[in-house]
Amino acid sequence: MSKEYYLYVNGQRVKVSEQIYKVYWREKEHEKYLEQVDKKNHLLFFSSLDHDGHFADSIIDESVDVEKIVETQMMIEAVRNAISRLNAEERDIIERLYFNDETVRSVAKLKSITHPALIKRRNKILEKLKKIIEEL
C-alpha cells in the first residue's frame, strides 16, 4: 500500500503526489532559509509591508497556487489513466524508462532488441499516450 500525501491549502486538505509534496516542502525549507539569511543581514522587503506601509503582523502565505496543484494532480491522473490503457508490453517499457529510472540500453538488452529499436518503440508508445490523453 502506497503512502498518501496531502497539503493544506486555504484550510482545505488536497491530495497530492509524493513528488509535488516533496517539491512543496523543499521550496518551503528554501524560503525559510532565505528568510533566516535576510534576518541575519537585517534585510526587510516591501512585500512584508501591508497596504498602509506597516509591517503586517501575520503575513498570509499565498505562495501555494491551489489551481496549479489541482491542475497538476488532474494531469497526473490523466497520465495514469492513459498508461493503464496501454498493453502490458508498452506499459512495462514506459514504467521501466520513466518510473524505475532504467536506461534505454538496459531495457533494450532486457527486451532483446537494439537500442534504436527501443527508442522507436518508446516514441510510438509516447505518441499513443499523447493521443489517449487528448481524447480524455
CB burial class (10 A; 0-12, 13-18, 19+) of residue 1? exposed
pLDDT band at residue 113 under the 50/70/90 scheme? very high
The predicted structure's pLDDT at residue 100:
87
How high is the pLDDT of residue 125?
94
pLDDT higher than threshold 60 for residue 59: no
Average pLDDT over residues 29-52: 60
Residues 73-104 have pLDDT tens digits of 888 888 888 999 999 999 999 999 988 889 99
Q: In the chain, pLDDT over 90 holds for what percent of residues?
A: 31
Cell numbers that stand for 75 in this block? 494531469
Q: For residue 19, what pLDDT is reported?
A: 80
Judge contact between 94 and 86, C-beta under 8 A: yes
For residue 63, the model assigns a pLDDT of 60
In contact, 133 and 84? CB cutoff 8 Å: no
